Structures are given as structure tokens and as C-alpha cells.
Amino acid sequence: MFGTLSYNKQKTIIIVSFLLIPLLLLATFTYYPAIKLIYYSFTDWDGYSPEKPWVGLANYREVFSNPDIFKVFTHNFAYFVMGLVQNIVAIYFAVVLNSKLRGRNGFRIMLFLPYIMNGVAVAFMFGYVFDTTNGSLNLFLNNIGLHQLAQTSWLGTEGLVNYSLASTGFWRFMGYNMVIYIASLQAIPRDIYEAAKIDGAGSFQTLWRVTLPNMKAVIQLNLFLTVTGALEVFDLPFVLTKGGPAGASQTYVQRVVDTAFAFNNYGLASAMSIILLFFVVIVLLVQQLVLNRGGDK
């Protein structure tokens, strides 16, 4: 029956029927919440009462003037620092594992392994590793003679806890970055290397002048993901430390979730979400700008 219709009619039917549900889902779970969020951010809604009192910009003023809220971003900073280190290490291993090497595949498989592991299980696993008195990390440090360091309370010290948590993220995601960098390395044409060799470039020169410039787009993509990832950290500190000690490891998203669901302040939480969304878009724009300028050269 359907096949007897003209191709133009078929086309219209296919377009409408194939897009209907997917677009409905897209609208319901991506765009509608985004619009709702903007609306909530101007109200004083508590999450259940039918009235949503309009308060104008008060929530935004609160976020920017309450140093307590913005200070939380300094906790996210640790994830950004570790993310940068993670990318550098990932590029290093990618370059190494792209060269001639015995057991190359085996090393790749091992280094990528943490990425597929369950995040909550990994978090608890590190909770045990980081434990001050029974933890394997301190035991290990003691065994190799670093007795002073082996007394450290990795998750209980204010200045340290975020770096300890972020290093767990490093452990989990370094291999992921590495695999992406390896893929981008393999896309670099061989003859460029041959040309560099003929021109007498050393291995370091080749790395600096040929390999890294060719990986630029992927490095930038990963840096964007690092920055936004650092802004959006939630599960690790939530599972491992519940934000402690004394709120020292609470991240911005965790603060948003608490504000909404524990303190029933949906208005303020919405404004905080919008600000986070805004930051993500800014990071993307800045990166886009830098990328395009680099492309003009």
C-alpha cells in the first residue's frame, strides 16, 4: 500500500513519522527543562507548592554576592589541574604506545582498563586505598620507606581532599584520553614523518614540530572536555566523602543538588544551574575563537 504512493508522498510521511517521537523526546528532556530552568531561576519556588513567587534577579544576586556559594568553585579547581596533568600524561603514553614497542597492545589494554569500570565501585575502591590507618596507599608508602608521608589523611585533610578525589578521576579517565590521542596520531600521514626525517629532524623536534601541531584539534577538544568536566564533577565526592570534611570537597553541582533537593530551594538552584550552563557556553565560545584563529594562520 505504502509502496504504491509517489516518492514525494512517501518522503513526507517518512519525515513526519520518523522524526515525531525523537523530536518530542528531544523537546521534552532537553529544551523544555532548559526553558523551565530559566523560568524557575526568577522565582522563589520550593519545589512542591503550586505558587511560584516571582523574585526577579534576586537568585542571581544571591549566587554572586554570597561568597559561600562561589567559593565552592575553588574545589572544582583541583579537578581542572588534575585534568591538565591527565592530558599531558595521556599524550605522553599515546606517543609512546604509537612507537615500535614490544607488548604495545597489552599496555594499551591495561591502561584503558579503568575507564570501563563502574564509577561507584571505583570510588569505594579508592575509599579503601586512601584510608588513613588501614589504607593500602599509606601501607605502600610505609613499605617503600616514606614513613612521614604514610601518616597522611588523604580524604580528611582540607587542602588535600580535592586533589585525592581528582586523582581518582585521573586514574579512571587517563586511558580514555590516551586512546583518543592514539587515534589522532594514527591519522597523521606517514609521509610527513619521512619528510621530517629527510630534513634531519631529531625525535624531539619531530614531536614538537610535526606530531603535536597535527594533534591540535583533538587536544583542544579534550581540553574543552577537561574544563567542562571539572565544572560538572558530581559523583566522586558525593559517593566518597559526601562533601566532607566540613564541606571542603563539595563541588558546585553537588551544591546545586543539595540546594534543590535537600533545602527545597529550587529557585536558587535553578539560577546556579543557569550560571553553570553559561560558563560551559563561554568555555566553548572561547575555544571556538582560539580554534578559528589558529585555523587562519
Partner 1 sequence: MAHTKFRFVDFIKYFSLLIGVFVVLFPPYVVVVNAFKSTDEFNSSSSMALPKSFLNFDNFVAVFQRGGLLSGFGNVLVIIIITLTLNILFGTMVAYVLGRFSFKMKPVVFGAYLVATIIPSITTQVATFGIIKNMGLYNTLGAPIVLYIGADVIQIILYLQFIRNIPVDLDESAMVEGASLFKIYRSIIFPLLTPATATLVILKTISIYNDMYIPYLYMPKQSLGVVTTVLMRFQGVNSGEWNLICAAILLILLPTVVLYFFLQRYIFEGVTSGAVK
- Between 25 and 212, CB nearer to partner 1: 25
| Least distance between partner 1 and beta carbon 191 (Å) | 21
Neighbours of 277 (CB within 10 A): 14
- Between 79 and 176, CB nearer to partner 1: 176
| Least distance between partner 1 and beta carbon 101 (Å) | 7
How far apart CA 113 and CA 174 sit, in angstroms, is: 10
| Structural element, H or E, at residue 268 | helix 266-296
| Least distance between partner 1 and beta carbon 106 (Å) | 9
Task: Let me know the angle formed at the C-alpha of 27 by 26 and 28, rounded to the nearest 5 degrees.
Answer: 95
Distances (CA, A) of 222 to 7, 68, 227, 287: 44, 30, 9, 11
Spacing of C-alpha 128 from chain mean position: 24
Amino acid, res. 75: H
| Least distance between partner 1 and beta carbon 162 (Å) | 19
| Least distance between partner 1 and beta carbon 158 (Å) | 22
How far apart CA 125 and CA 137 sit, in angstroms, is: 12
- Between 179 and 196, CB nearer to partner 1: 179
How far apart CA 209 and CA 216 sit, in angstroms, is: 11
- Between 66 and 203, CB nearer to partner 1: 203
Cell of 67: 561568597
| Least distance between partner 1 and beta carbon 72 (Å) | 15
Amino acid, res. 224: F
Amino acid, res. 176: Y
- What is the DSSP code (8-state) at residue 101? -
| Least distance between partner 1 and beta carbon 192 (Å) | 18
Cβ atoms of residues 178 and 97 within 8 Å: yes
* Length of the chain measured in residues: 297
- Between 66 and 143, CB nearer to partner 1: 143
- Between 187 and 195, CB nearer to partner 1: 187
How far apart CA 272 and CA 70 sit, in angstroms, is: 10
Amino acid, res. 190: R
- Between 28 and 66, CB nearer to partner 1: 28
| Least distance between partner 1 and beta carbon 148 (Å) | 20
- Between 57 and 117, CB nearer to partner 1: 117
Neighbours of 143 (CB within 10 A): 11
How far apart CA 226 and CA 150 sit, in angstroms, is: 30
